[in-house]
Amino acid sequence: MRIEQLQYLNAVTRHGSLRRASEELHLSQPALSEAIRGLELELGVRLLDRHRTGAQISRQGERLLPRINDVLNAVAALRAAAQNSGGSMNSRTS
């Protein structure tokens, strides 16, 4: 599971559309769909209901969405804490 896959699913649910999410993410629609399908396979649940006019989050996806958002928020907090720590990758402590 990659964080990007969670971000992609979040974007699709926010936009209610693979097309609009792919535009926001600067990612082709087939690549976006494939990434989410990989996440579905890994989790063993269908996250999106796909149809001719678009896609929307499935019932299983809705149940997992709060946990997905928890993960994304934790990653954002970790990045912010790292940036605010004052260190850099090039500095060494003795």
Count of structural domains within the chain: 1
Residue 59's CATH number: 1.10.10.10
Q: Does residue 48 sit within a domain?
A: yes
Q: pLDDT over 70 for what percent of the chain?
A: 91
Question: Quick one: which of 26, 21, 2, 3 has its CA closest to 11?
Answer: 21
Q: Does residue 68 sit within a domain?
A: yes
Q: What is the pLDDT of residue 93?
A: 54
Q: Does residue 49 sit within a domain?
A: yes
Q: Does residue 32 sit within a domain?
A: yes
Mean pLDDT to the nearest integer, 38-44 = 97
Provide φ and ψ at 50, rounded to 5°. Answer: -95, 140
Q: Does residue 25 sit within a domain?
A: yes
Q: Does residue 90 sit within a domain?
A: no
Mean pLDDT for all residues in the chain: 91
Boundaries of domain holding 45: 3-73
Start-to-end CA distance of the chain, whole Å, equals 36
Q: In angstroms, rounded to a whole number, what is the distance separating the alpha carbons of residues 25 and 20?
A: 9
pLDDT at 94 exceeding the cut of 70: no
Q: pLDDT over 90 for what percent of the chain?
A: 77
